[in-house]
Structure 1
Amino acid sequence: MANKRNLKKDINYVLGDIIEEVYIWEENNPDKDKKAGEVIIDEAINSFDAFMVRVSDRNVENAAKHFKSIKEDLEKTAKSLAEKVNSL
């Protein structure tokens, strides 16, 4: 079960860091519109919820394959969100 616990931690840290970066950007740019940052934060929170549902799914035939696909999707999502933060 350590794999599941570590995966949940990874999801939390990665998406939490992205949200934190948006907050830092908002602090450093008080004169800019914050709606784009709010959209990124909402997307990160929705992604977090979706990943947690997938990780907690107990009706999986091949757990290793399932967790591997979640890790790959997390990387893609994190990369996409990071690019959005960088484009602010």
Structure 2
Amino acid sequence: MANRRDLKKDLNWLTHEVISDCLIYLEFNKVKDETPVAKIIDKIITKRSEAFTKINENTSAMNKREVKDKFNSIVNEFFDTANSCFEDLSKLSKK
């Protein structure tokens, strides 16, 4: 199992990838309405904050298996959100 610091670094990296893709999209596609891209960025930042809150919760009363399952569910949930953000951005670029 990865430690909390590594988990946070990985989530930060993925968050920055989504945000940088959104900013690149805005730079190369001069769109008048930036609201859909702003919603994607807001979605990933909100999910990052939620994930960090869950990661920082005290796990001393849990056994190792429960902690591992908890962290795996946090990561899977975050990956699903990041994937949906990338898909939403792809849909915008196809318009």
User: Which residue identity does 1:30 align to in structure 2?
Assistant: K
What value does the CA root-mean-square deviation take over the aligned residues?
Answer: 1.6
User: Which residue identity does 1:12 align to in structure 2?
Assistant: N
Q: Which runs of 5+ in 1 are unaligned?
A: none
User: Which residue identity does 2:5 align to in structure 1?
Assistant: R
Does residue 22 (structure 1) correspond to residue 26 (structure 2)? The answer is no
Q: Deviations over 1:36-87 (max 9, x none)?
A: 1011111111111101101101146221111111111121111111101111
Does residue 85 (structure 1) correspond to residue 89 (structure 2)? The answer is yes
Whole-Å Cα distance in 2 between the matches of residues 53 and 13 of structure 1?
A: 17
The alignment of Structure 1 onto Structure 2 pairs a total of residues equal to 88
TM-score, with normalisation over the residues of structure 2? 0.83
1:32 offset after TM fit, Å?
4.2
Query: Looking at CA atoms only, which structure, 1 or 2, has the larger radius of gyration?
Result: 2
Secondary structure of the 2:3 match is: helix
Whole-Å Cα distance in 2 between the matches of residues 47 and 74 of structure 1?
A: 7
Whole-Å Cα distance in 1 between the matches of residues 31 and 82 of structure 2?
A: 26
1:65 aligned residue (65, 69, 78): 69
Partner residue, 2:8: 8
TM-score, with normalisation over the residues of structure 1? 0.89
- Sequence identity (%): 31
Q: Which runs of 5+ in 2 are unaligned?
A: none
